[in-house]
Amino acid sequence: MSKVSSTIKEIEAVEPRMNSDELTDTGVQKKLLRKAIATLPIKFREIIRLKELEHMTYEQIAKRISLPIGTIRSRIHRAKPLLQAKLRHLKDE
């Protein structure tokens, strides 16, 4: 499964009002993700942006922002539920 398909499935889970044509539009997908990411705490924001929008590996992110890979993994793990909650909140707006 591609990154785009995976991300679309995650958004479909929290964004049921949008039809599949809207969700397959990369611009709409990225707009929703950017809006949700912007509301995350600062320590998660850049890491999630690099992972979800730039499709960087954990190793690339660790090198880019000079943090240990274990820190990158744990922050992504902690940030994903927050991101899903933010997407749910955007759905309700």
Q: Does the pLDDT at position 5 exceed 60? A: no
CATH number for the domain harbouring residue 41: 1.10.10.10
Q: Given this model, what pLDDT does residue 20 score? A: 46
Burial class for 82, CB neighbours closer than 10 Å (0-12, 13-18, 19+): middle
Q: What is the mean pLDDT of residues 5-31?
A: 55
Cβ-contact 83, 48 below 8 angstroms: yes
Q: Given this model, what pLDDT does residue 89 score? A: 79
Q: Which residue has the higher pLDDT, 68 or 83?
A: 68
- Domain tally, the chain: 1
Q: Is the pTM of this model over 0.85?
A: no
Secondary structure (H, E, C), the chain: CCHHHHHHHHHHHHCCCCCHHHHHCHHHHHHHHHHHHHCCCHHHHHHHHHHHHCCCCHHHHHHHHCCCHHHHHHHHHHHHHHHHHHHHHHHHC
Q: Which two tokens stand for residue 64?
A: 């880019």
Q: List pLDDT tens digits, range 40-64.
A: 999 999 999 999 889 999 999 999 9
Q: Does the pLDDT at position 19 exceed 50? A: no
Q: Which domain holds residue 87?
A: 3-92
Q: Give percent above pLDDT 90 in the chain.
A: 46
